[in-house]
Amino acid sequence: MKDVMKRALLFDGSAMISVWNMPKAAQEGARLHGMSDDAAEVFGKVLSVTAYMAAGMKDTRDKLTVIVEGDGKLGRVVTCGECGARVRGYVSNPKERLSPGQTQAAMLGEGVISVIKDLGLEQPYRGYGKIVKGDVAGDFAGYFMLSEQAPTALALACTFENGVCKVCGGAAATALPGCKEEYLVVLEDIMRNFTDMGAALAGGGPEQLIQEHFGHFSPAYLPDVTPEYRCTCSRARSAGMIRAIGKKEALSILAENGEIDVHCEFCGKNYSFNAQDIDKLFNEE
């Protein structure tokens, strides 16, 4: 099954339903960081909701960063998204596992959700929410309501077995401007059926789920979105970072270490610059 996100407008455009499954993207992220299955399942949920948010971006230059700073086993979870649901991310402690009797809540603990959106405006948008019980879906639904004033019923699922992602995705019913209260009540009632999102996605694709649960509202489908794990690092970008710290600082690091290594947290690649590289870098016109 390919990674895909289906979206449809409901009630004459006053609400939207999104259903997606992106196991390939989640597995690629987990593979790059050597995550345990327990870590990957929580990371996959955060990556999944990041893809959902990124899918709504209009401009190819738009981007967002999600930081989940909890006191649980995973530590910090960082994900980034760009227009078209291209995502990447990492966690502080990718090898952590649940102890017997522990639930996923132990991986995140309690903490804060921070969302930074760069939409080409003078200042980026910053929104905040709380991680209360390590419930990714519930806590992000709270974030959407309080920080973005976008009532959203959200269900997420991510399952890994021996390093293989079986399912990673979710469903989000969102009220758009002008949505009547009665419509919102109907959407929330239907979304309560998604008590096992993993089983729902495993049993049928996103479009099938939309038709089964929302088909009687004559959904008007939007173009498909293909979530993808894609890192944007490059040697050129790494060189730009070195330029940014200045020649004096770069030469100081070079003198101490013999070379400058730039490590990408999102894909694990290292870019090394020796003395000749640094000299050329700062003498380029």
242/148 same-domain check: no
- Predicted local distance difference test score (pLDDT) of residue 135: 87
249/137 same-domain check: no
Q: What's the mean pLDDT in 219-225?
A: 96
Q: Does residue 257 or residue 65 have the better pLDDT?
A: 65
- Predicted local distance difference test score (pLDDT) of residue 202: 87
Domain of 98 in residue numbering reads as: 4-229
The total domain count for the chain is 2
Burial of 243 (0-12, 13-18, 19+ CB in 10 A): middle
1 band by pLDDT with thresholds 50, 70 and 90: low
208/272 same-domain check: no
224/255 same-domain check: no
252/225 same-domain check: no
199/242 same-domain check: no
Rounded Cα distance between 40 and 52, Å, is 18
DSSP 225: B
Of 38-42, 122-126, 205-209, 224-228, minimum mean pLDDT range: 122-126
Residues 6 or more apart whose Cβ sits within 8 Å of residue 14: 175, 176, 177, 178, 179, 180, 183
Three-class SS of residue 90?
Answer: strand
141/272 same-domain check: no
Domain final residue, candidates 185, 210, 229: 229
- Predicted local distance difference test score (pLDDT) of residue 39: 97
Percentage above 70 pLDDT, the chain: 99
Q: How far apart are the first and last CA of the chain?
A: 49
217/244 same-domain check: no
For residue 147, pLDDT over 70 is answered with yes
151/185 same-domain check: yes
Cα angle 31, 49, 82 (rounded to 5 degrees) comes to: 80
32/166 same-domain check: yes
282 band by pLDDT with thresholds 50, 70 and 90: confident
Domain final residue, candidates 208, 229, 250: 229
207/260 same-domain check: no
Mean pLDDT across the chain, nearest whole number? 92
- Return the CATH number at 83: 3.55.30.10
- Return the CATH number at 269: 3.90.1280.10
Domain final residue, candidates 229, 246, 266: 229
Q: What's the mean pLDDT in 131-146?
A: 89
Burial of 274 (0-12, 13-18, 19+ CB in 10 A): exposed
203/255 same-domain check: no
The pLDDT tens digits for 190-200 are 998 888 899 98
